[in-house]
Amino acid sequence: MADKKTRTIELDEGEVALIFGEDGESMSIRVAAADDVEDTDEDITDAAEIVVALATRLLNDPEFHDEVLDWHHEHGEDEPDEES
């Protein structure tokens, strides 16, 4: 079995991230939030709610998954590079 590679990413307060993984034909998505969110919380931030909705739709709607990839292929090169 190959060694796992890991990377640490720090999120600022209020930030939420999607972590995508692939294993063959399968895709996994994890949601990571800078702030702890309890299962009993009735109100979550808009950012967290959007991230969860996007992750859920990507996992459950193959057509949306393909549309996102198509959009990226058509527009991805036009996006500004945040690292520069």
| Token couple for 36 | 């702890």
**Where exactly are the structural domains of the chain?**
16-78
Q: What sign results for the dihedral spanned by CA atoms 64, 66, 70, 75?
A: positive
| Token couple for 18 | 């999607």
Written as one letter, the residue type at 33 is A
Q: What is the DSSP string of 21-54?
A: EEETTEEEEEEEESS---TT-S---HHHHHHHHH
For each of the chain's 84 residues, which pLDDT tens digit applies? 567 788 888 999 888 899 999 888 888 888 888 887 666 656 778 888 898 899 999 989 989 989 998 999 998 765 555 554
- Strand-pair partners of 84: none
